[in-house]
Amino acid sequence: MNNNTTPNNGDKDNRGPGNRQSILMFLVLMLAAFLVFGFLQRTFTEATTREISYDEFLTMLEEGEVAKVEDTYNTWRITPKEQPFGENGIELTYYTGKMDDPDLLSLMREQGVEIDPYIPDTTSSMIYQLASILLPILLMVLALNYVMRRMGGGGMMGVGKSKAKVYIEKETGVTFKDVAGEEEAKESLVEVVDFLHNPDKYVEIGAKLPKGALLVGPPGTGKTLLAKAVAGEAHVPFFSLAGSDFVEMFVGVGASRVRDLFEEAKKNAPCIIFIDEIDAIGKSRDSRLGGNDEREQTLNQLLAEMDGFDSNKACIVLAATNRPEILDQALLRPGRFDRRIIVERPDLKGRVEILKVHSKHVKMDETVDLEALGLATSGAVGADLANMINEAAILAVKNGRKAICQKDLFEAMEVVLMGKEKKDRILSTEERKIVSYHEVGHALVSALQKDAEPVQKITIVPRTMGALGYVLQTPEEEKYLLSKKEIEARLVVCLGGRAAEEIVFDTVTTGASNDIEQATRLARAMVTQYGMSEKFGLIGLETRESMYLNNGTVLNCSDQTATDVDSEVMRILRESYDEAKRLLLENRTCLDKIAEFLIEKESITGKEFMEIFRKVKEGQEEYHQEELIFAE
């Protein structure tokens, strides 16, 4: 069978219902326009004319009240000498029926009435009738055309046209050199570029070109950038649009746009079609709770078009999403999206490479250490890192420097992650003391534990994202696994701030809400996901719902087990809190000294923190040695 004669029954099936409903809607709107036009015409006529009897007409003639009489073929239209006004303040004319009265003409002549005879005019009558029919239709068409243009459809003739932006040849301005931190994803896409450059060598050996590749990963990791880089490397037309561009209020428009997009792509083959946020039209079809006919028709048309690709034409569909779990299985099967390319959060090496790419055209001095910034930004994606470089450049200009320094980079990191400093929020002396002890409690507990991360900075300057202060911790190396001891150390650090408040002030405040939230989430994960609970052992009690967005989980256990899980989480948190209190009570002198220094300086570095910590510890050891000598 010839591959060029692929049947396209899906087009026919999807086109019919959509067009029929659009035509029916247009006819209904036309009928409504006729009714409105007739109603307005009748209302205007009733407001400007009034019917009188023939006797009243004769009386007006005899009394000389008539100025003009017009013969309208069926009636006499009467204009009085003194023009009356209606209720709305509009001038009125009278009309009455015509009768066979031979004396009427002589009576009108005697009274000096202006007589306007009836002259048949077929041309103007026909024009009036045509205008009364065509004018409402024209107004309706113009109104529909205006509405559709406002919706982005390109007017009546362009409602089903594709809204894809087309970038030809190198107009994307992006190549693989502009993409860093995603080496595995780039390697997968290099083959796609080779397919587009040399499709014949794959066809000769019997290999089929991939129909599509699905880019999956968290927001900001560079999925759209990778797609543009593929087009920039392949030097082919690049059709770019979002999934929401297909869907409109009219049924059938989305399917029509899909057809138009793929027809244009086939004309420009070899090419790339890129659909960003494909989950807008690719959600799994589910009839149990009802469905969206327009979205499902659009998805059906997309499936049919991807099946109808000629294997000899190098048209490749790239799509991006951060919600792959909700996509329809028919869309994900081989033959449509043959490859799933994971675009993950970059590791330390990747973050450093991304920082180098974005700082390529930025002036930096000799103090800049991108590796230190990369180590401090664990979990950040490419968009975050690009924003940090830009914020650092803005801060350098603001401070009157000609180049970015390391201080600018770390301050920019704090702005992106924590928000700007709130200089208008002035804390009272008591609140400053509470916040200071709270933050030092976190830092001191971290320094006293072997498996905790080192402290980089402590500050009590409020930030725009709601933090009254924070402790910045930087890992010594990139880690991909956490041991049970490291998680337990993190729990103790999270609860160290609340423990310090209770020890020093004999009360607690609302400042630990975020700490408690993080500790609870971590302790629950130990029990339900990591199998680190002695009570439950190796059992998975939670499943992830959306691993790339909010990382939400759902319990898959009975109510009784859920209650036991809550009890186990509370036990873990209680033990961690008791451990934090024990560490702080044993080092109360360190806590007071560092808190006093922080209240005075507002922000201290990790180096300053460790110097005070060591001095106090050394002083305590000397004091204990003196006590021992004295006792002996």
CATH number at 307 reads: 3.40.50.300
Q: Are 465 and 605 members of one domain?
A: yes
| Contact (CB, 8 A) for 172 and 232 | yes
Per-residue model confidence (pLDDT) at position 215: 92
- Counting as low any pLDDT under 70, the low residues of the chain are 1-28, 30, 34, 37-38, 41-42, 44-47, 83-91, 118-132, 144-172, 248-252, 286-292, 308-314, 550, 620-632
45 in a domain, yes or no? no
Q: Are 236 and 281 members of one domain?
A: yes
Per-residue model confidence (pLDDT) at position 10: 38
566 in a domain, yes or no? yes
Which CATH number characterizes residue 565's domain?
A: 1.20.58.760
Per-residue model confidence (pLDDT) at position 433: 93
| Contact (CB, 8 A) for 418 and 458 | no
Which residues does 153 contact at the CB level (< 8 Å), separation at least 6?
159, 160, 161, 248, 253
423 in a domain, yes or no? no
Active site residue 344: no
Show the domain range for 179: 165-285+293-342
37 in a domain, yes or no? no
Q: Are 132 and 191 members of one domain?
A: no
From 121, 225, 231, select the one nearest 179 (Cα to Cα).
Answer: 225
Q: Are 377 and 400 members of one domain?
A: yes
From 167, 154, 162, select the one nearest 302 (Cα to Cα).
Answer: 162
| Contact (CB, 8 A) for 502 and 508 | yes
Per-residue model confidence (pLDDT) at position 27: 64
260 in a domain, yes or no? yes
From 195, 292, 217, select the one nearest 247 (Cα to Cα).
Answer: 292
373 in a domain, yes or no? yes
CA–CA distance, 88 with 110 (Å, rounded to integer): 35
CA–CA distance, 544 with 528 (Å, rounded to integer): 11
Per-residue model confidence (pLDDT) at position 544: 78
Selecting among 277, 439, 501, 568, the annotated active-site residue is 439
Q: Are 411 and 447 members of one domain?
A: no
Three-class secondary structure of residue 479 per DSSP? coil
Which CATH number characterizes residue 413's domain?
A: 1.10.8.60
530 in a domain, yes or no? yes
Q: Which two tokens stand for residue 109?
A: 């002549």
Q: Are 533 and 406 members of one domain?
A: no
What's the total number of domains in the chain?
A: 4
| Contact (CB, 8 A) for 228 and 174 | yes
Residue type, 561: T
Q: Are 610 and 462 members of one domain?
A: yes
43 in a domain, yes or no? no
Q: Are 374 and 448 members of one domain?
A: no
Which residues does 632 contact at the CB level (< 8 Å), separation at least 6?
none
Q: Are 396 and 523 members of one domain?
A: no
Q: Are 300 and 236 members of one domain?
A: yes
Residue type, 128: Y
Q: List b or e across 373-384, with b for residues whose CB sees 16 or more CB atoms inside 10 angstroms.
A: bbbbbbebbbbb
- Among 418, 444, 459, the domain-final residue is 418
Q: Are 446 and 370 members of one domain?
A: no
Q: Are 500 and 515 members of one domain?
A: yes
CA–CA distance, 1 with 360 (Å, rounded to integer): 54
